[in-house]
Structure 1
Amino acid sequence: MPSPLARRLHTAAAAAALAITGLLPITAAQSAHAATARVDNPYVGAGVYVNPEWSAKAAAEPGGSAVANQPTSLWLDHIAAISGSTGHLGLRDHLNNAVKQAAGRPFVFQVVVYDLPGRDCSALSSNGELGPTELPRYESQFIDPIAAILADPAYANLRIVTTIELDSLPNLVTNTGGTATATPACDTMKANGNYVNGVGYALAKLGAIPNVYNYLDAGHHGWLGWDSNLGPAVDILHQAAMANGATVADVQGFVVNTANYSALKEPNFSIGDTVNGTSVRQSKWVDWNQYVDEQSYAQAFRTKAVAAGFDAGVGMLIDTSRNGWGGPNRPAGPGPKTSVDAYVDGGRLDRRFQTGNWCNQAGAGLGERPTAAPATGIDAYVWVKPPGESDGASQAIPNDQGKGFDRMCDPTYTGNARNNFKMSGALPNAPLAGDWFSAQFQQLLANAYPPLGSSGGGSDTVAPTAPTGVTVTGTTASGASLAWTASTDNVGVTGYDVYRGATKVGTVTGTTFTDTGLTASTAYSYTVTAHDAAGNVSAASAAVTATTGSSGGGTGNAGCSAAYAVTNDWGSGFTANVTVTNTGTSPTKSWVVSWKWGGNQQLAGSWNTTASQSGTTVTATNLSYNGALAAGASTAFGFQGSYSGSNSAATLTCTAS
């Protein structure tokens, strides 16, 4: 390990200095492995591995090429993943690719080690393949083969960063001992010691490899941020770091918010704020926690870990893959000071129903892009969870991976003691944990913050690119619907202006628009421009012509109606279904439903449609598979929303072509 002073406070200036120091030669005793000594922060001055399998999936999605070159972690979550399978690369394949990508420069390879016996005792979606007593199998069939591959001299020049067994040790803090959140499975794992001993074995075996950097999972602020949890969490991580052959020297740091959604920073309120003499800690959202975001929690965790006996040089990683919370629902400033709850709820970036909600959260967006040494004590922002990979299935799906159905992945679930009986906030139609979830990936792109293409700050003098792919998605006798491909900008597009000829007829934040009040059997020409927060405006898109249909009642008319029904309402949020029916005499090719809310409702997520909100107006367009309806036929889509006050009704308009 480096000296404590080398790591204690690595600011941006210190990081820049570290980037040019180079690597230290190893001792002769270590020459058989031909490895280099560990550096203070493995991410500084280094490239990071881009997983080609994830990258290909991301690039195949509309707009996904904007992030397909970002580095993500490889997940080893079952024994067979080590060698790979048909259509999936194994660990050695990925390492060989990493050597090629490195091309001789300092290079980080990130891997999640995740297959403890009795894994994830408090949830079902990621239950593992090993039973609670199968520690010997974990050691001999999982950790030992991984260690043997990582120790191959062919990979000695890689900086191999491991995330060790997420969720395991934190579960022993909060979900054992007869409390309201305890589970029999977690009590079993605490009693038999296999979580502690399994983590200790992994640390010892992997820590013996000179170019491996072990980071222990340390939960997140919405799980362990209370004094009653944080101290015991540090203690049990220290216990594991001294178990089964391990020492604290085998721990190079900790990782927080792994595969979670907690906001990196909450700019609109802090833990020290008060409203009319009431601390924000007393708000329902904060709920007496000591932290309101992940960066403050990570920095505090590091301080407590060093005080508990970990090396003074340990660093922190924060998973920012899905905690951006951008898009149209991102608050622009603090909430009103009418009450502490109004102040916190109106200003918080994290739009979940409760900080304990973890499965495929509606409204989430990509967070900060992977960055080395972004803040004091933080080694890097990383994407441990590959965006677009599901947290768990929204309904039971038979499988041979030991992955069960957890109700927290069901959008209709009303919660349990671990999330204060709040709605799950999960997206519908989700596949098994780890499988590709296109709808979630599209949501993450749409709600990314910083927005896609953002430089992360500084003045903006570059106009957005012009929108492309403008198409007419539907017409009626009195309306026309358009859609286009999102623009890019160095600080992020904030909206689009739609022109009918030379007249601006609408401004939207999404990429669809419906023009109404038109004359039947008339051709209209439309163009679209993009604008950003700095006021820059793009060139106009290519023009597209929409010809409205006949207003007569002859044969072959296209028409539709839409019926809106709230299916669940819990006072601050709701889910609803919309049924679309072809009321014409000929099949539809496409349809668009729009409505205007009378209250402050906000769209949080949708399914079976592409939906966007501008002000109080929501526009929902069919997807590729449900736009065609025979005369008299129906289809349905749904959405999830939030509100305060009254959940007033809406009048729907449906157009079809």
Structure 2
Amino acid sequence: MRSRRAKVVAIAAAAAAVGTTAVAVAAPASAATACNVTYSIVGSWPGGFQGNIVIKNTGDAWTSWSLTFAFANGQTISQSWSGKATQSGANVTFVNEAWNGSVANGGTVNPGFIGSWNGTNGIPTAFAVNGVACNGTTPTSSVPTSSVVTSRPPTSSVVTSRPPTSSVVTSRPPTSSVVTSRPPTSAVVTGTGGPKVDNPYAGATGYVNPEWKAKAESVSGGSRVSNTPTAVWLDRIAAIEGTSNSSSNGAMGLRDHLDAALAQGAGYAQFVIYDLPGRDCSALASNGELGVDELPRYKAEYIDPIAAIQSDAKYRNLRIINVIEIDSLPNLITNTNVAKCATMKSNGGYVNGIAYALQKLGAIPNVYNYIDAAHHGWIGWDTNFGPTADLMYQTAVASGSVNNVTGFITNTANYSALTEPYFTINTSVNGTSVRQAKWVDWNQYVDELTFAQAFRSRLVQSGFNSNIGMLIDTSRNGWGNCTATSAAPCAAGGAARPTAASTSTDVNTFVNQSRVDRRIHAGNWCNQAGAGMGERPKAAPASGIDAYVWVKPPGESDGSSTLIENNEGKGFDRMCDPTYTGNERNGNSMTGSLPGAPISGAWFSTQFAQLMANAYPPLS
């Protein structure tokens, strides 16, 4: 999904102008190796530029490739992606990554780079692939230069081999370097399975995880929802190949799931990319296996193998949807008072890790990346809202292109109500705004739908493409008839789902009696008593929303209610303890968590039964 288009000019006229392109076309395809190479400058600034290369195989299939060319004006490459670049003097060599070496006849690969120049930035005039020259003519058509980046991006937005030691930039980047449009579907990069679509959920059937289906059907009544598409969580390195430890998630690996999706005839399959170094820095229940300084291992042992599998040509007709690193970037805005979060901000591990994942996975033609954007009860305040959007833009730029991002997801594994039908943020009670109620606490939003739509607009303002889409996880935010337990009451204000707005003239009483979200506090997030399944997955349900999804599979625990030793790096968080009286992040309230919960990701049949009983809309 590339919206940056480069101005095309004849090679003989190429100079230092921004947006120039050279095309070299191979000799007739009767040769064993034949190629068509397009070289484009998609952005330029004083002393630097961003280059893009499209290599098309017009001959026999390749199992690996090596592109060579020479700079005529002393340019140098400092960073590359989707291909490993080396340079000796003027001579440049790009070789394939492990995951994109195989290229069939008619297939393309798309390496890119950041370079420097001084005085003149001429276009290379000769290219060769695997030692065979690509020769031909150059198109003379052109497109408006207004679509070209003409200002230098922030230095901190470039991925380097060494993470920055300073804290990340959270201010809004210069608007002159922002891409605000997204190309029409017909102009999007295509793979052998057809063009990349604007909304991967539209017109497609979702993959049903057979491991989750079996667990759902083990609970009475579970067959009512067991054929619902849910996401597969790749929450540790071992999950890529599969593991015999079925206590958390399952034994099937990534390739197993993709093969099963093909066997089902599914149109899309969903995966959660979730193993950053220093993961979930403000909590303990979902801490991961990688330490705060293990970014190289994250890249080499986690992202690279995932990219290698997802790029397999056998899956090209399947839309692969990745939800990228839950709870990570928002923590850098709101929780740097936590030492681990401060470390991940200062060492650049989250930004550079996510940028690397976006770069690797975004290069695959049939992959769609959605970045996690927390929820309204986390970043719905003005002080968090804009800075979070800007940090996400910075991270996308660091990946090499904002087009590596299809959209964003809110409410992942959370419980915030999709809509509050009986009041809005503009409601006043006896002259007092509901923003002053203890539950709302001066937030700008009271539900996920209005938040997601507003955050989408702010993301576009930050620089993302104008037709990015949003997802909302509705797997556990239905809030039907709440069933209290002695250890975990539903919430102050009553156990049953409200059917009308309160008549109280006290703003706190009004909100508590009117809200359908029955949690004790909006900051409570672990195995919530009284929660129910929400809207079933559907495509394009509201303006700006690509889909309602079940990314957190109902019945998979958020964390253990007591300490449980395990080999997955998952700790015990008191926010999962039903006896805990809380902390400043939840207003020193009871947690509202269910007792008897296993570690995060493990099957919790009691919770699954409750989610079905309290589903809204109700299950038939």
Q: Are 2:276 and 1:109 equivalent residues in the alignment?
A: no
TM-score scaled by length of structure 1:
0.63
1:368 is paired with a residue of what secondary structure?
coil
What are the residue-to-residue correspondences of 1:145-164 with 2, within 5 Å? 145-164=305-324
Preserved CA contact (<8 Å) 1:35 1:153: no
1:47 is paired with a residue of what secondary structure?
coil
Q: Residue 186 of structure 1 is aligned with which of 324, 341, 344?
A: 341
What are the residue-to-residue correspondences of 1:329-478 with 2, within 5 Å? 329-453=496-620
Q: Are 2:249 and 1:94 equivalent residues in the alignment?
A: no
TM-score scaled by length of structure 2:
0.67
Counterpart Cα distance in 2 of 1:252 and 1:281 = 32
Counterpart Cα distance in 1 of 2:369 and 2:285 = 25
Q: Are 2:287 and 1:127 equivalent residues in the alignment?
A: yes
More strand by share: 1
Kindly report structure 1 stretches of 4+ aligned residues shifted beyond 6 Å. Answer: none
Q: Residue 297 of structure 2 is aligned with which of 118, 137, 141?
A: 137
CA displacement at 1:246 relative to structure 2: 3.1
Q: Which residue of 1 aligns with 2:69?
A: none
Counterpart Cα distance in 2 of 1:60 and 1:395 = 25
Relative to structure 1, the CA distance from residue 347 to residue 2 in structure 2 (aligned partners, 3 Å threshold; closer, same or farther) is: farther
What are the residue-to-residue correspondences of 1:169-180 with 2, within 5 Å? 169-176=329-336
Q: Which residue of 1 aligns with 2:227?
A: 69
Preserved CA contact (<8 Å) 1:170 1:224: yes
| TM-align CA RMSD | 1.5
CA displacement at 1:417 relative to structure 2: 1.3
2:194 is paired with a residue of what secondary structure?
coil
Q: Residue 195 of structure 1 is aligned with which of 337, 340, 350?
A: 350
Counterpart Cα distance in 2 of 1:220 and 1:236 = 16
Q: Which runs of 5+ in 2 are unaligned?
A: 5-53, 58-105, 109-190, 483-495
Counterpart Cα distance in 2 of 1:67 and 1:330 = 22
Q: Are 2:403 and 1:252 equivalent residues in the alignment?
A: no
Preserved CA contact (<8 Å) 2:3 2:403: no
Counterpart Cα distance in 1 of 2:540 and 2:498 = 27
Residue identity opposite 2:262 in structure 1:
V
Counterpart Cα distance in 2 of 1:337 and 1:227 = 29
Q: Structure 1, residues 492-551: CA drift from partner, whole Å, max 9, x if none?
A: xxxxxxxxxxxxxxxxxxxxxxxxxxxxxxxxxxxxxxxxxxxxxxxxxxxxxxxxxxxx
2:341 is paired with a residue of what secondary structure?
helix
Larger relative contact order (CA 8 Å, sep ≥ 6): 2
CA displacement at 1:38 relative to structure 2: 1.2
Preserved CA contact (<8 Å) 2:477 2:534: yes
Counterpart Cα distance in 2 of 1:174 and 1:417 = 13
Preserved CA contact (<8 Å) 2:580 2:590: yes
Q: Are 2:446 and 1:292 equivalent residues in the alignment?
A: yes
Preserved CA contact (<8 Å) 2:2 2:403: no
Identity %: 64
Counterpart Cα distance in 1 of 2:335 and 2:600 = 22
Count of residue pairs brought into register by the alignment: 423
Q: Which residue of 1 aligns with 2:144?
A: none
CA displacement at 1:236 relative to structure 2: 1.0
Q: Which residue of 1 aligns with 2:128?
A: none
Counterpart Cα distance in 2 of 1:338 and 1:275 = 6
Residue identity opposite 2:197 in structure 1:
V
Deviates more, 1:205-214 or 1:325-334: 325-334
CA displacement at 1:28 relative to structure 2: 5.4
Q: Which runs of 5+ in 1 are unaligned?
A: 5-25, 177-181, 454-657
Q: Which residue of 2 aligns with 1:47?
A: 205
Counterpart Cα distance in 1 of 2:397 and 2:352 = 9
Q: Are 2:241 and 1:83 equivalent residues in the alignment?
A: yes
Counterpart Cα distance in 2 of 1:216 and 1:38 = 18
CA displacement at 1:37 relative to structure 2: 2.2
CA displacement at 1:235 relative to structure 2: 1.1
Counterpart Cα distance in 2 of 1:428 and 1:441 = 13
CA displacement at 1:247 relative to structure 2: 1.7
Q: Structure 1, residues 320-375: CA drift from partner, whole Å, max 9, x if none?
A: 00000002511111122320111110010001111111000010000000000000
Counterpart Cα distance in 1 of 2:403 and 2:537 = 26
Preserved CA contact (<8 Å) 1:354 1:422: yes
Q: Are 2:356 and 1:212 equivalent residues in the alignment?
A: no
Q: Which residue of 2 aligns with 1:317?
A: 471
Residue identity opposite 2:574 in structure 1:
R
CA displacement at 1:2 relative to structure 2: 7.8
Residue identity opposite 1:396 in structure 2:
L
CA displacement at 1:391 relative to structure 2: 0.2
